[in-house]
Structures are given as C-alpha cells and as structure tokens.
C-alpha cells in the first residue's frame, strides 16, 4: 500500500480520477471486440521488441510458440493497435503501438472504456524489450524469458515487473506517477547493471539473497527502507556478499518524490 504523502498522492488522484484530454471532440464507443495476432520469428536469432501503449491494461508473459501471440480487446475504433515486424540478417524488429489518441477524453475510472492487451512472447529467442507506457495498469510477467535488456518508461498508474529467473543483464526504468513493483529474485547466471529513475509514488524492489547487491540512491524526498545487513556509506548501500559473490546487481537509483522499499528474499 502506498504511503500517505499528500503531494504525490494528490497528483496521482488527479491523474487517475479525472479526464486526460487529448482532443475536444468525442469519439463514440463501438462494440467491444478482440483481435488475435501471431507473429513468426522468420528465422531471427534475436529480436528488438517495442511496445507502446498510451492508455489501458497491459499484460506481457512468456509462453508463445511463435515470436508473439497476442489478444487485443478494445471498444474504440481508433484504439486498434498498429503491429509491424521485419527482419534484417538474423535480427528481428517487432513493434506494437497504440495509435496517437485523438477525438477522445481518456478517463481511467470509466468502465465503459475498454483497452486490454495480452501479449505472449517467445521464451527462447533473445530479446531487447522496450515498453513505453502511458496511463493504466501494467503486469509484465517476464520470468524465464531470454532477455538481453529491458527498458521501461512507466506513466500514470500501477506497474508490476516480474523478472524472476530472467538474469537480464541490463535494466532501465523511468517511473512516472503511481507505483512500480520490481521483482528480481531467483537464480542469477550473470551480473546486472540497473538504472532506475524514480517518479512520484512508490518504488518496491524485491532482490535475491545469493548475489552481491549495491544500491546507489541519490536525491529524492521520502523514505528509503533497506533491510538490515546492508552497509551504508553516504548514499551507497551494499550487502555482505557484494565483494565476494560471483554475480552482482548494481543499481543507480535517482529517487523521486515518494518511498523506496527494498526486500531481500530469504536464502534456503
């Protein structure tokens, strides 16, 4: 649950409860429909995947037999996603984009506005995943995917990013207004360099207990909650394993307005 910081909570409520205007004219809703799209990798050994969703509910998981299997459910004609895929040599380029929102005022609390994407990605094809998220709710269940890098720009709302057992080596997150929950627990086969820029709200980090951890936390207004056992030197926190572990997780965190909550899983 988010802490009661009046300033960022007020901003969050303004964004989430009120209309976000994109145009003065209104588009009328149509019948809710679901379109299904499958993309074959066409021999690509690695893929750059870009997802841009301006408003709605996004779910991303693994498990696709092809490069991508997806269902898109919406009830405004202008919300139909634009999907493109091409290959160059052994690299694929997949883009899934919600068109620029026109002729509609987005209201996140309006149940009559439906825009839900459920996207499955292939577990075995190496991917650079980039998500540019606007307003809404995001659940990225990326456990076990073959990820070379993950770049998330989170907008207004709640965003859950599950990277357990993914061993992604590069991570870049820019938080917006709301809550970002990031799970990096599990087994690690390599080290990680992560750059996180906090926004207005709450950042929750769940970290593994068997690797070295370094948290460089700069700036910010709000609480920083780090478990016992971390050494603090100025703005830098390190655990006891940092100097001896085979793999390390290094975080550069530029805190925003809100809280940072760090948990470390128990070692069994």
Q: What is the pLDDT of residue 6?
A: 45
Q: What is the pLDDT of residue 200?
A: 93
Q: What is the pLDDT of residue 166?
A: 94
Residues listed for the chain: 268
- Residue-wise pLDDT tens for the chain (268 aa)? 444 444 444 444 444 443 444 443 467 888 999 999 999 999 999 999 999 999 999 999 999 999 999 999 999 888 999 999 999 999 999 999 998 766 556 665 566 789 999 999 999 999 999 999 999 999 999 998 999 999 999 999 999 999 999 999 999 999 999 999 999 999 999 999 999 998 899 999 999 999 999 999 998 788 899 999 899 999 999 999 999 999 999 999 998 898 999 999 987 6
- CA dist., res. 59 & res. 107, Å (int): 20
- CA dist., res. 169 & res. 175, Å (int): 19
Q: What is the pLDDT of residue 246?
A: 96
pTM of model > 0.85: yes
* C-beta of residue 105 within 8 angstroms of C-beta of residue 116: no
Helices (H) and strands (E) in the chain, counts: 1, 21
Distances (CA, A) of 45 to 41, 93, 132: 8, 11, 24
Q: What is the pLDDT of residue 267?
A: 74
DSSP state of 211: S
- CA dist., res. 257 & res. 268, Å (int): 35
DSSP state of 244: T
Q: What is the pLDDT of residue 99?
A: 87
Residues 6+ apart with CB under 8 A from 166: 142, 143, 144, 145, 147, 186
Which 3 state secondary structure label does DSSP give 8? helix
Question: Pick from 153, 155, 166: which is nearest to 195 by CA?
Answer: 153
Q: What is the pLDDT of residue 111?
A: 66
């Amino acid at each position: 649950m988010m802490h009661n910081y009046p300033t960022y909570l007020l901003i969050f409520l303004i964004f989430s409860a009120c209309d976000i205007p994109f145009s003065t004219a209104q588009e009328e809703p149509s019948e809710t429909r679901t379109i299904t799209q499958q993309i074959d990798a066409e021999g690509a050994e690695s893929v750059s995947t870009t997802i841009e969703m301006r408003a709605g509910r996004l779910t991303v998981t693994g498990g696709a037999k092809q490069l991508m299997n997806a269902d898109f459910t919406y009830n405004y004609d202008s919300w139909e996603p634009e999907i493109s895929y091409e290959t160059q040599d052994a690299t694929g380029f997949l883009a899934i984009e919600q068109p620029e929102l026109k002729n509609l005022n987005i209201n996140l609390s309006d149940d009559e506005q439906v825009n839900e994407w459920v996207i499955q990605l292939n577990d075995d094809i190496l991917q650079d995943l980039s998500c540019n998220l606007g307003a809404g709710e995001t659940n990225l269940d990326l456990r076990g995917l073959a990820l070379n890098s993950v770049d998330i720009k989170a907008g207004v709302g709640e965003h859950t990013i599950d990277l357990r057992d993914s061993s992604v080596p590069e991570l870049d997150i820019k938080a917006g207004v709301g809550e970002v929950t990031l799970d990096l627990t599990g087994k690690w086969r390599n080290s990680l360099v992560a750059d996180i820029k906090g926004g207005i709200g709450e950042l929750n980090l769940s970290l593994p207990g068997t690797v070295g951890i370094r948290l460089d936390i700069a700036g910010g207004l709000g609480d920083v909650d780090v478990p016992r056992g971390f050494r603090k030197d100025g703005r830098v926190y390190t655990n006891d394993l940092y100097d001896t572990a085979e793999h390390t997780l290094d975080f550069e965190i530029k805190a925003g307005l809100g809280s940072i909550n760090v948990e470390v899983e128990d070692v069994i």
